[in-house]
């Protein structure tokens, strides 16, 4: 705040509205837009997706250890429900934890576009 001479409200807006995926992707806030930009070769959007997947996997691993295993891994909400490529990336090489994604079932549901 001092270095940029920001008010508390400005700092809060910067951290809550302008950071995270939006900052990493180069200004895209919607996961669908980030995927689209990534497919077009936008390196910032690709980085945002890689970081998002990495963080999801990190949390899965953390909770797997904390809970001493798991019975199921459930993807919810818009991204989890509508993004087969995201689910596939998150579950890649997790078979040692007993997490095996069924490719046919994963791709059976089509994601919605606006």
Domains of the chain as residue ranges with CATH: 8-108 (3.30.420.40)
Residue-wise pLDDT tens for the chain (114 aa)?
Answer: 999 999 999 999 999 988 999 999 999 999 999 999 999 999 999 999 999 999 999 999 999 999 999 999 999 988 998 899 999 999 999 999 999 999 999 998 665 555
Q: What is the pTM of this model?
A: 0.82
Whole-angstrom distance, CA of residue 109 vs CA of residue 58: 26
pLDDT at 108: 87
Residue 109 structure tokens: 């549901």
Whole-angstrom distance, CA of residue 87 vs CA of residue 74: 10
> Helix or strand or coil: residue 48?
helix
Q: What angle do CA 63, 97, 83 make, to 5 degrees?
A: 75
Q: How many residues does the chain have?
A: 114
pLDDT at 78: 86
């Amino acid at each position: 705040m001092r270095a940029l001479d920001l008010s508390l409200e400005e700092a809060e807006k910067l951290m809550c509205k302008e950071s995270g995926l939006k900052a990493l992707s180069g200004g895209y806030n919607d996961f669908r837009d980030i995927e689209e930009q990534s497919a077009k070769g936008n390196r910032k959007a690709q980085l945002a997706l890689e970081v998002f997947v990495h963080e999801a996997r990190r949390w899965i691993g953390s909770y797997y250890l904390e809970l001493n295993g798991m019975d199921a891994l459930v993807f919810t909400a818009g991204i989890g429900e509508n993004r087969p490529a995201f689910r596939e990336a998150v579950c890649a090489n997790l078979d040692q934890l007993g997490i095996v994604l069924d490719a046919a079932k994963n791709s059976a549901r089509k994601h919605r576009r606006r």
